[in-house]
Structure 1
Amino acid sequence: MLEQLLNLAEIRSQLLAPRIDWTWTWLTVFGLMIGLIAISYGTRPGVIARATTKEAIRQPLFLLLLVLSALVLIVNSIVPFFTFEDEGKMLTECGLATLLIAGALLAVWTAGTSITSEIEGKTAMTLLSKPIDRRQFLFGKYIGILQAVIWMFLILTLLFAVLTFFKVGYDQKEQSLDQTPLWQWIRISDIELPVPHPDRMSVVGSILPGIALTFMQVAVLGAISVTVATRLPMVMNLVICFAVFVVGNLTEIIVNSSVEGQANESVIFTARLISMVVPSLSAFNISSAVATGRVVPQDYLGLSLVYASAYIGAMLLLGFLLFEDRDLA
């Protein structure tokens, strides 16, 4: 695992180059959405997933996080960061951080209220008395939480894209440059139609890989939260997920420091243990690419998706084992 993390860091430094092809990326996103729809409406866990999604969206926390995140995005697009030519990059970094915090809070809180509360309130026995086993119950809960996060991300991503679209001209005005027009007129059958200017849309497109990686990080934290919720109360769930979030974003630094700094055996052992247990959430962080104005190619997105899927699968399998012999009576 230590060598894999080092290789992932090396691959990331090589892949963060100014080149990108969106073909396979959009096909992957389309395939994942079709898969979620098929699970929700074509399987037994889908019944649990749809009910969990409705429950998550109806709870006050969803609306609260949505409104607060939208306000933060709007304020960040208006208030200057005093970074001269890097206002757009700072907006992107702050926007991605806002989506990450909102999505993680929604996933962890929903796992606690939806799984832990039903187990402690004995309502899970009612569901499990029907032709749904414990694994289907837990898997459906995770899919439902994931779908609620997707709805929040869709709304915030649309707002984020609109703010970024207009931020391009604002930054050009502040730098005394010629402003890129909002629209470009194209002629179709002797009719001129306005379309968003491609230069502005290219800037909007550059934030989409960061949003995808942020969603992967939230999905990993959601899987951890669902697993923890099978045994521990909500408060402990929040504490554990927060600790994983902090340590997971420092895993790469800890591993590199222990290897390159020629640390003693105890430090190296601790670094290896952390890298084996805690996910390397720093793999989903593209702040370095944003700071240098580079884009994230689909190669890196694919590797990150494989890594996230493998860790999510492992955590759900652990959750199945922990929930299998849990006394629900």
Structure 2
Amino acid sequence: MHTTLAQAAAPATVASSNLILLAGLGVFAILLALFNYGTRAGTIARATWKECLRQPVFSILTAVGVLVVIANMIVPFFAMDDETKMFIDCGLSTILICCLLLAVWTASIAVAEEIEGKTAMTLLSKPINRRQFILGKYFGILQGVLTLLVVLGLVMYVSTYLKFGYDHKEQAKGALEYYVMAEGSSIPKPEPQRLAAANAIIPGLTLILMEAALMAAVSVAISTRLPMLPNMITCFAIFVIGHLTPVLVAAGRFKLVFVQFFANLVATLLPALDNLNMSPAISTGKTIPVQYVALNAVYTVAYVAAAILVAFLLFEDRDLA
């Protein structure tokens, strides 16, 4: 009896968690809209967002991301019962890479090249100060990343819905309909098992947005002083080390005091990106608690605020002439 109740409650719990996450993302989108149209920095954010969408790199990353997700859905992984798991892991990783590339590339174009090309000096001659310039650029980049994430996320969601049903049939577990008809209703509803598999990626997409937001803030701060190529190299190094910090800290416990100190210093200063990498857990069917996502959201906001403050300091005395 207890097992039956737990199994019945689990889907409801997951569904409520996903609703909370979607509501949180909706509130975030509303706050971005209020920032866009309610502040002076919002004018720069809207212009940066449009510039991001017009860039060839946005179209290229969108096309590549969609093609890779669809190709992974069609081409078999030869993983026996783990086809859908492999597909989800590869799909979320593809979306993450595309979003990070867009964030770092746009930050280099929108901040570093405008400073080098003296365009920033023209903007700052208007009633916009340097802090509003940085804030506008950052939130414009973030909106571009969010747009890409929504497009690729929708493709991934639909693909997962279709992929799960196909793999379910291939594993001789029975065919799943594309939709079901509720008793006494003529309105079709999504097939529950397919829908559950597709809904499982929502926490992963939310954490990808947080990781892209972190790297965008770091890239904006670096762009105030360094041009595109050094910025991209530095961000790549931070990305790699940020995912290795747990390994460094664990290794430092058994080494010299200096190694332990250095590992803890790196773990403190650099973003803890490995905490946001939940693709393997999601692909293996583990549920990501909404509390975990909420705690990472608080961490992301705090770290982004710190990175933007560093950007303010670096840009405050930057010679634009």
TM-score band by shorter chain is: over 0.9
Gaps of 5+ in 2: 1-9
- Find the counterpart in structure 2 of residue 54 from structure 1: 50
Q: Distance in 2 between matches of 1:121 and 1:30?
A: 37
Which residue of the other structure, out of 220, 228, 244, is the alignment partner of 2:222? 228
Moved over 3 A (4+): 17-21
Q: Distance in 1 between matches of 2:115 and 2:224?
A: 8
Q: Distance in 1 between matches of 2:250 and 2:34?
A: 42
Q: Distance in 1 between matches of 2:192 and 2:20?
A: 21
Q: Distance in 1 between matches of 2:192 and 2:264?
A: 47
- Find the counterpart in structure 2 of residue 114 from structure 1: 110
Is 1:282 paired with 2:282? no
Q: 1:313 to 1:27 in 2, by over 3 A?
A: same
Q: What SS class does the counterpart of residue 192 from structure 1 fall into?
A: coil
Q: CA deviation at 1:186?
A: 2.8
Is 1:263 paired with 2:255? yes
- TM-score w.r.t. length of structure 1: 0.91
Q: Distance in 1 between matches of 2:285 and 2:23?
A: 25
Aligned letter for 2:265? L
Q: Distance in 1 between matches of 2:20 and 2:280?
A: 24
Which residue of the other structure, out of 299, 307, 316, is the alignment partner of 2:299? 307
For CA contacts below 8 A with separation 6 or more, give which structure has more relative contact order.
1
Q: Distance in 1 between matches of 2:22 and 2:64?
A: 29
Is 1:247 paired with 2:235? no
- Find the counterpart in structure 1 of residue 158 from structure 2: 162
Which digits, 9 at most, give the CA deviation of each residue in 1:7-52, with x for residues without a partner?
xxxxxxxxxx995432532332222111101001111110000000
Q: 1:51 to 1:97 in 2, by over 3 A?
A: same
Q: Distance in 2 between matches of 1:143 and 1:59?
A: 17
The more displaced of 264-273 and 23-32 is 23-32
- Find the counterpart in structure 1 of residue 78 from structure 2: 82
- TM-score w.r.t. length of structure 2: 0.93
Gaps of 5+ in 1: 1-16
Aligned letter for 1:309? V
Q: CA deviation at 1:267?
A: 1.1
- Find the counterpart in structure 1 of residue 5 from structure 2: none
Q: Distance in 2 between matches of 1:227 and 1:236?
A: 13
Which digits, 9 at most, give the CA deviation of each residue in 1:110-133, with x for residues without a partner?
111111111111111111111110
Aligned letter for 1:66? T
- Find the counterpart in structure 2 of residue 146 from structure 1: 142
Which digits, 9 at most, give the CA deviation of each residue in 1:112-166, with x for residues without a partner?
1111111111111111111110000000000000000111111111111111111
Which digits, 9 at most, give the CA deviation of each residue in 1:161-205, with x for residues without a partner?
111111011111211111221111136xx7512121122111110
Summarize the alignment of residues 201-240 of structure 1 with structure 2, pairs less than 5 Å apart: 201-240=195-234
